[in-house]
Every structure is written in C-alpha cells, then in structure tokens.
Amino acid sequence: MSRSERKQQTRQRILDAAGRGFRKAGFGGIGVDGLAKEAGVTSGAFYAHFDSKAAAFRESVAQGMAELKDGVCHFQGQHGHTWWPEFVCFYLGEKRKCELSESCALQSLASEISRSDPTSRAEFEAELLNVAALILAGPTSEHAPADIGEAMFALSTLVGAVTLARAVADPAVAEKIAAAAAQTLLSGNRYRDSREPA
C-alpha cells in the first residue's frame, strides 16, 4: 500500500469514527480527543486530516446522507415495485433499534445541524432535497410519495417516529409509535389534507 493510500485509509477511519461519535454524543458531547480515541489515532493525527471538529462534523453529515441515499438505492434495486413498503419497515424496525452510533444521519444529526452555521445547514438542505428527489425517481411503488411535498412528509414522519421511539423507556410504547408511523405512510389517505372531511 502506498503512502497516499495509507493516508486516505486513516482519514476514512477517522471520518467513520467521527460519524459514530457525533451520532452517539452529539457535536457538543465529544471533543477532538474523544474522536481521535474512537478512531484509534492521536489528536495530532486528527488535525493532520481535519482542520477542526466542525470540519469533521460537516464531512460526517455528508457521508451519513450519502449512506442514506445508498440505502434508498439498495431498496429500489433489490425490491423493485415493493421497495417503498420494504424501506419504511426497515427504517422503522432495524434502523430504529440499532445502536445510536450506527443510526441514520437524518435522524441523529439533524438536531445538531439546526444549531450549526448557515453553510452547514445549506449543505444539509441540499442533501435532504437530493434524498427526496431520489425517492421520487425510484420505481413505482404502492403508497410511495408522488411529489416533493409528500417525500418531505414521509421523511419527516420516519425521522420523527424513530426519534420519539428511541426517547421513550417502554418498548411497547416505542412499537406503537413505529406502528402508527407505518400505518400513516403505507395507507392510501396519508397525505389527505387535514381540512378535508374523513
């Protein structure tokens, strides 16, 4: 392995560790020393690859959103016309129950982004719109979002349900939250205007 390849490998290891650290502890809950320790490198090695904790955070968010897009593409390619129900069930099931350090960036880092600088928020917004566009570009699937508004509603519902379910102590309550979100997203009237009569 060449020196440049080793350097890139180390950088990626630090970035992966930073993503886990930020998901688990939040931006303010972990410092450079903690991120370096998570990656198995010195703080000096961290700064050799990232100018600051904020720079590592921005790249961690970008990588997390790329992973989400890869996940959407995987379900679209693997399940075809049933991809949307499969994705919803996966997100509200396995992705809800996994370790917080391995959770979806959209769920675990959005609140951190809301407290960050305008540039980071603009970059996050662009990635969020890309995720929504990817959902709309997928194969026709029953109850899948049909426009940008529906895609944003669906993503908000998924993220909100997982966030609330992770926050409660009783697993039965968490299951009810997830089940209610699934029912909303996989029923024919989920986007009905609340002002319309039922």
Average pLDDT, the chain: 91
| Domain extent at residue 100 | 58-185
Check which CATH number belongs to the domain holding 129 and give it: 1.10.357.10
Model confidence, pTM: 0.86
Task: Tell me whether residue 157 is in a domain.
Answer: yes
- Quote the tokens at residue 158: 């998924």
d(CA 7, CA 13): 10
Task: Return the CA Rg of the chain.
Answer: 18
Task: Tell me whether residue 9 is in a domain.
Answer: no
How many domains are contained in the chain?
1
Task: Tell me whether residue 88 is in a domain.
Answer: yes
pLDDT digits (tens, 9 = 90+) for 129-169: 999 999 999 999 999 999 999 999 999 999 999 999 999 99
Task: Tell me whether residue 39 is in a domain.
Answer: no
d(CA 29, CA 25): 5
Task: Tell me whether residue 139 is in a domain.
Answer: yes
Task: Tell me whether residue 160 is in a domain.
Answer: yes
Could you give the C-alpha distances from 142 to 71, 159, 190, in angstroms and in order?
A: 19, 20, 12
